[in-house]
Amino acid sequence: MTRRETSGRHLVARRYRYRDLVVRGRPFVWGQRTYLMAIINVTPDSFSGDGLGTDVDAALALAQRFEAEGADILDIGGESTRPGALPLDPEAELARVLPALVAIRSATLLPISIDSTHGTVVEAALAAGADMVNDVRGLRGDSGVGVAVARHGVPLVAMHNQRGAKFHDVVRDVRAGFFETLRLAHDAGISGANIILDPGFGFGWTPEQNLELVRRLPELQDFELPMLLGVSRKSTIGLVLDAPAGERLEGTAAAVALSIAGGADIVRVHDLAPVRKVVRVADAIVRGNWRPE
């Protein structure tokens, strides 16, 4: 075990534990049920075919639809994270996300997450009314993200991103990434109560490794932190089903249900209404929380 991994284990043991959150007045009680993060892509090149570009009216209408369908969080992103996508300049990203965020913020009390890896974008989004941050680089990119999260005292979804990393073992690599993220969070002054971990399904893994990741989720539960899974419409599901992005709902549903069985607390999805039904049944089985209405 490396010195850095040892330090990470110490942080897990002494500082980071499950603690419930309240975001914009809404309680997130971990273990009680699975929460739904709805995806709003203001990109022209989303892998999933749902990119809205700079159409603010369309983004607002989608946010309102998601709220009516039972979303718990709205996740707004302006930079495509699909494999091979070109990096986006922060100024261009802001031009995409801020108009949509401002319009959506004025129309809903739902918590809004900003999906970005750029500190300047995160800072501006939080100042404009975003309530949390979704960083697919897990603080291992722009240090400004950690600074903004700590300064505003907001929740952080921190992903382990395997892209460009040497592969050893699925769980071992995710654990190493989580340890590094927790170290960086500690150094930035981010409260342990605000950390949500994401093992990074679809980010640098082979299809076989993605499937293994979901299968082995229980091995990551000793972090005792809430976990988010983003399996919706991912290419691995498309390969298993031999289906394009718009025809992966059933595969997404299966992966979501198994993610919940493995310990997921939040699922990030495109097709909220049907997946909400999947989540309700999965929660009834896994968490035993079903009661007749």
Which of 268, 276, 280, 291 is catalytic? The answer is 268
In the residue annotation, 163 being an active-site residue is answered as: no
3-state SS assignment for residue 256: helix
For 204-261, what is each residue's pLDDT tens digit? 999 999 999 999 999 999 999 999 999 999 999 999 999 999 999 999 999 999 999 9
Alpha carbon of residue 168 to chain centroid: 24
Which of 105, 137, 234, 248 is catalytic? The answer is 234
In the residue annotation, 233 being an active-site residue is answered as: no
Q: Taking the model in full, what pTM does it have?
A: 0.91
pLDDT for the residue numbered 292: 75
Sorted by where each starts, the structural domains of the chain and their CATH numbers stand as 3-285 (3.20.20.20)
pLDDT tops 80 at residue 203: yes
CA dist 284 → 33, 57, 135, 209, 260 (Å): 9, 36, 30, 28, 11
Q: Within 10 A of 45 (CB to CB), how many other CB atoms are there?
A: 14
For 65-120, what is each residue's pLDDT tens digit? 999 999 999 999 998 776 666 778 999 999 999 999 999 999 999 999 999 999 99
